[in-house]
């Protein structure tokens, strides 16, 4: 065997050995990170507000499809005039805050109307099929409800005619907010723990927990509307009892 061939064989063997070591190291790293993520995910369950019902998960595909079909008119090109000039961040933030306040006010009354006997039975009961809400259920509703309550979301932009960037930013933030409110988890970093007047998951989870005639907590984002009109009375009583239980 020539010296060149012998050198090539040795180099190939060294390469294969190096490759196997590298592959084993990568597999060990993937396994280690996988176990770490599993442990992290498992530790998050302590922040779960209530036990998840397996039967609810069977509705997931229907939930996504129903939301996609019925919200199509709201996702089409808006008929109102949009600004061609992108505003500064101070204007964008001011507009989004205004949208949140206006949306919360309109949503409160629309949601409260949906809890009247006939509308709840024929429309809003679809959303309340999930007694233990999770992220996807935020968009799971009767088509009429999506159009009815969706009006609250688009009213602010329709009145102010923002830049397209502001409109999309508002839509993204609004979806994140409603998914968080339906998540069923109250984390230490949840917005409700450091933003005053913000409802969050615990506030809305109570709404899904009790009968439609006594649920209260109708607002979408903040708590002051329910406080002003007394529709969070039972929720506040429950919180007071929980606080007394912690003290003793």
In this predicted structure, the answer to whether residue 45 has a pLDDT above a threshold of 70 is no
DSSP 44-95: HGGGBSSPPPHHHHTTHHHHHHHHHHHTHHHHS--SSPPBSSPPPHHHHHHH
133-143 per-position pLDDT tens digit:
777 777 888 88
**8 Å CB contact between 161 and 85:** no
Residue 98, pLDDT > 80, answer yes
pLDDT in the model for residue 28: 45
Instruction: Please write the tens of the pLDDT for every residue from 148-176.
Output: 888 899 999 999 989 989 999 999 999 88
Looking at the chain, the whole-number percentage of residues with pLDDT higher than 70 is 65
88 or 85: which leads in pLDDT: 88
């Amino acid at each position: 065997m020539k010296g060149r061939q012998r050198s090539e064989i040795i180099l190939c063997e060294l390469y294969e050995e190096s490759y196997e070591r590298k592959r084993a190291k990568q597999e060990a790293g993937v396994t280690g990170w996988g176990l770490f993520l599993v442990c992290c995910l498992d530790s998050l369950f302590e922040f779960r507000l209530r036990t998840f019902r397996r039967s609810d998960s069977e509705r997931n595909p229907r939930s996504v499809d129903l939301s996609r079909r019925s919200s199509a008119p709201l996702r089409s090109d808006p008929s109102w005039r949009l600004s061609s000039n992108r505003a500064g961040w101070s204007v964008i933030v001011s507009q989004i805050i205004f949208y949140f306040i206006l949306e919360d006010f309109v949503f409160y009354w629309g949601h409260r109307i949906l809890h009247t006997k006939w509308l709840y039975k024929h429309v809003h009961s679809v959303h309340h099929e999930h007694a233990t809400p999770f992220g996807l259920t935020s968009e799971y509703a009767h088509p009429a409800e999506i159009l009815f309550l969706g009006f609250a979301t688009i009213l602010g932009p329709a009145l102010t005619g923002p830049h397209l960037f502001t409109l999309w930013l508002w839509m993204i933030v609004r979806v994140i907010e409603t998914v968080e409110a339906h998540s069923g988890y109250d984390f230490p970093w949840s917005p409700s723990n450091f933003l005053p007047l913000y409802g969050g998951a615990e506030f809305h989870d109570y709404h899904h927990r009790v009968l439609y005639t006594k649920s209260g907590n109708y607002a979408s984002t903040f708590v002051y509307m329910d406080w002003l009109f007394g529709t969070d009375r039972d929720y506040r009583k429950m919180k007071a009892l929980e606080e007394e239980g912690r003290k003793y």
